[in-house]
Amino acid sequence: MKRKLLCLLIANLFAGSAPALAQSDPLVVTGSVSVGGTYTDEDTKDTSKLNEYRDLSNGGLVGFDVKGRNSRYWFDAFGENLSRDDQYITARGGMYDVFKYRLWSDSLKHNFLDNGLTPYAGAGSSNQVATFPRLDPNIWNGVEMGYRRRDNGALFELQSVTPWYMRVEGNQVTWKGAKPGASSQGTSPGNGFVELSLPVDYKTQNLVVEGGYNTRAMHFDLSWMLSKFENSNEVVDWTNGYNLGTDRTYLAADNRYTRVAGNASFRDLPLQTSLAARFTVDELKDSVGLGQTILSGGAQVPTGAQSGSFDGRIKNTTFSASAASIPAKSVDTRLYYNYRKRDDESRNVEFLSPSFFGNYSSESFSYEKNNWGFDAYWRMDRGNRFGGGYDYLDTKREGRFDFDRTKDKRLFLEYKNSMFDQVSGRLKYTRLDRDSNFLLANDGTGTTDPNYENRYVTAFDLSDVKQDQWKLTLDFVPMDNLDIGFEGTIKKNKYDKNVLGRLNDDRREVYLSASYGLPGSVRVTVFGDNEEAKYDSTHRIIGTGTTTGAYEPSSPPNASNYNWTGKITDKSWAAGVAVDWPATEKLTVKASAIYYKTDGMVDLSLQEGVPASVVRPVPVGTWDDSRRTSFTIKGEYAFSKRWTFTGGYAYEKWEYSDAQYDGYRYTIPASSNQNSYLNGTYAFQDYKANIIYGLVSYRF
């Protein structure tokens, strides 16, 4: 009787029409409910890194997983971590061939700082006040930073008019709390800077309406989307310790986004061709009030903006089409084309303030991309497959000062072999050749003109580059129940036309895994991963700009003007083992251990010929080094058909070292109010934690 009553209650909750069918076609409900708790013993100065994207606080654990079915209706409901910061609940269901729905609520908290200190009162609000100078952290205020994100939504799809369908989806995402921020106090960080706690109170509302036609041979759909973003705090006022006045930081502004999209696909065309096409047209708009004053030496100076607001408007248009065919029995081909255009139609705003900063105007950025390519594969026999392809991307830009056009040409060749029972593999080579149009190649009137250096300073993201990439994948089964996998990647970028900036970078990745286990017995899986990246760059020091050749990198070095190089090496290692052991018919034990380490270094050197009087740079050994060790063990005991007991233990240790945090202090004293004030964000990341948890589950 109790089980029947529980089934009826849940059926009423998730499928309201079920009672009418209860006598003729009862809804069969199955599932489980879990209740337990967790305890965490932590050793850390700041728990935010331990709980950065999860909730490990001491307390209860509650979850459920329920399913209901009959000949007409169905539903699934799932929930975990109920009432905790990382709670997740979803329910979906419907009536077969008539409609379906989905409801969800997904919560997450991103923690940044738990035990910080700040000289400001009202940290995390839109008005933060302090009396400066205030160099003694013992009289500061405590501060915590983190925001809660929650996504609540619903979807409904009508299927009763097949092959036509209609779908409506809506959701609301909210963020509440605070996040890290910073600002210089004068005209640069040289006048001191402060770390701030910026308020987060956002809301995004989305609505999507879609309709379409779907059969085995073709598909069409058209959708419309509206998204609205609102920020309750678009400005933050805070006390400036250098100017000793009130300064202002501007945050994200309200905006509105709309999009129209369409898709079409056709199957069973000649040569077994499948054709697909898609287009989108969208628009992003906002209107932001412009600040009319800035701080300078304790006084407010008009900047003279010619408009009181900035009206932003960006339009995007995309189109893509592809055709996949089988022109011969052992040949597969694909042709494709992609187009994207971004039009920045935002209002141009000019600031006229020659007495202070000079004239400035807002910058727009637009571009147009044309991308096409093809690939083809030939299966020589059952175990050998050869393939290759070519991709061309032409990008034209408006608003970028250094590059206005790039052409990327990418070629790949691939070989797959599966002719042996024990071994299969794939080898792929890719070659990228980018040709860029550099706009500053003739800047400057001579080697003493600061603009002359623009000829040699190039951003590597759009510079000419030649890239070679090799990737090898192997799967090896030397004996029954033993699987071995290998994956290796080598990638080299050479920026052969760069003089200053990045010259080349190399990457190497190796991954190896093995798994062995007999059916119904212990299964052991191990893995290892090693990655290394190297970046070489050249830069220039200019101490005396009036010396002939000052801005020419090839000129002979002297004590004031010379080149220096940086070689960055990032290495990472990871290794782990997992054991799955059915100890008895009722007891299953699972355990895993993972070790992860990163090691970075920067080697700095001066070019040959620099006088000995110039102080040589010292290599930086602790360049974002980290180490993580974790161990987990979990036991699950099936006491009966309905009752299951689960218990587990986890250990985690995180260590982080970076030269920029060595000798961390909350205050950096200086003269003439040029002090800096920090609050501890990211400074104390190390932690060690022991976690114990248990659950009791009831199946019905």
Distance of CA 564 to the CA centre of its chain: 33
Question: Structural domain of residue 547, as residue ranges?
Answer: 365-565
Burial environment of residue 458 by CB neighbours within 10 A (0 to 12, 13 to 18, 19 or more): buried
Task: Report pLDDT for 576.
Answer: 98
3-state secondary structure of 684: coil
**Would the pLDDT of 292 be above 70?**
no
Scored b (16 or more CB within 10 A) or e, 330-343 reads eebbebbebebebb
Lowest mean pLDDT among 233-247, 426-440, 625-639, 684-698: 233-247
Average pLDDT of span 401-425:
94
Let me know if residue 401 belongs to a domain.
yes
Interval 256-286: pLDDT, tens = 999 999 999 999 899 999 999 999 999 999 9
**Would the pLDDT of 21 be above 50?**
no
Let me know if residue 649 belongs to a domain.
no
**Phi, psi (degrees; rounded to nearest 5) at 583:** -60, -45
**What share of the chain in percent tops pLDDT 70?**
94
What's the rounded Cα separation, in Å, for the pair 469 and 481? Answer: 33
Interval 180-237: pLDDT, tens = 999 998 877 788 999 999 999 999 999 999 999 999 999 999 999 999 999 999 999 9
Distance of CA 163 to the CA centre of its chain: 38
Task: Report pLDDT for 7.
Answer: 39
Is residue 418 within 8 A of residue 383, CB to CB? The reply is yes
Query: Which of 491, 437, 485 has the alpha carbon at shortest distance from 464?
Result: 437
Let me know if residue 33 belongs to a domain.
no
Average pLDDT of span 52-68:
96
**Would the pLDDT of 373 be above 50?**
yes
Task: Report pLDDT for 14.
Answer: 41
Lowest mean pLDDT among 134-138, 185-189, 452-456, 531-535: 185-189
Task: Report pLDDT for 296.
Answer: 52
Lowest mean pLDDT among 11-15, 29-33, 261-265, 626-630: 11-15
> Which residues are within 8 A (CB) of 416 and not within 5 positions of it... i.e. 6 or more apart?
384, 385, 386, 387, 424, 425, 426
Task: Report pLDDT for 117.
Answer: 97
Interval 550-600: pLDDT, tens = 999 999 999 999 999 999 999 999 999 999 999 999 999 999 999 999 999
Task: Report pLDDT for 244.
Answer: 86
| Direct distance between the N- and C-terminal alpha carbons of the chain, in angstroms, rounded to an integer | 12
Count other C-beta atoms under 10 Å from residue 345's C-beta.
13
Q: Which residue has the higher pLDDT, 363 or 537?
A: 537
Query: Which of 483, 484, 506 has the alpha carbon at shortest distance from 494?
Result: 506
Lowest mean pLDDT among 23-27, 60-64, 465-469: 23-27
Task: Report pLDDT for 189.
Answer: 75
Q: What is the mean pLDDT of the chain?
A: 92
What's the rounded Cα separation, in Å, for the pair 102 and 90? Answer: 7
Residue type at position 584: T
Q: Which residue has the higher pLDDT, 296 or 110?
A: 110
Query: Which of 84, 100, 218, 119 has the alpha carbon at shortest distance from 158?
Result: 100
Task: Report pLDDT for 307.
Answer: 76
- CA distances from residue 156 to 65, 94, 211, 581, 696 in whole angstroms, order as listed: 21, 9, 12, 43, 34
What's the rounded Cα separation, in Å, for the pair 37 and 556? Answer: 70
Is residue 578 within 8 A of residue 525, CB to CB? The reply is yes
Task: Report pLDDT for 294.
Answer: 63
Is residue 581 within 8 A of residue 589, CB to CB? The reply is yes
What CATH number did the domain enclosing 494 receive?
A: 2.40.160
**Would the pLDDT of 248 be above 70?**
yes
What's the rounded Cα separation, in Å, for the pair 81 and 60? Answer: 8
Q: Which residue has the higher pLDDT, 13 or 559?
A: 559
**Would the pLDDT of 666 be above 90?**
yes
**What share of the chain in percent tops pLDDT 90?**
84
Query: Which of 411, 468, 405 has the alpha carbon at shortest distance from 437?
Result: 405
Let me know if residue 391 belongs to a domain.
yes
What's the rounded Cα separation, in Å, for the pair 589 and 149? Answer: 35
Residue type at position 334: R
What is the number of domains present in the chain? Answer: 1
> Which residues are within 8 A (CB) of 584 and not within 5 positions of it... i.e. 6 or more apart?
none
88-95 vs 59-69, strand pairing mode: unpaired
Let me know if residue 451 belongs to a domain.
yes
pLDDT band at 614 (very low <50, low <70, confident <90, very high): very high
**Would the pLDDT of 36 be above 70?**
yes
Average pLDDT of span 320-347:
96
Task: Report pLDDT for 420.
Answer: 85
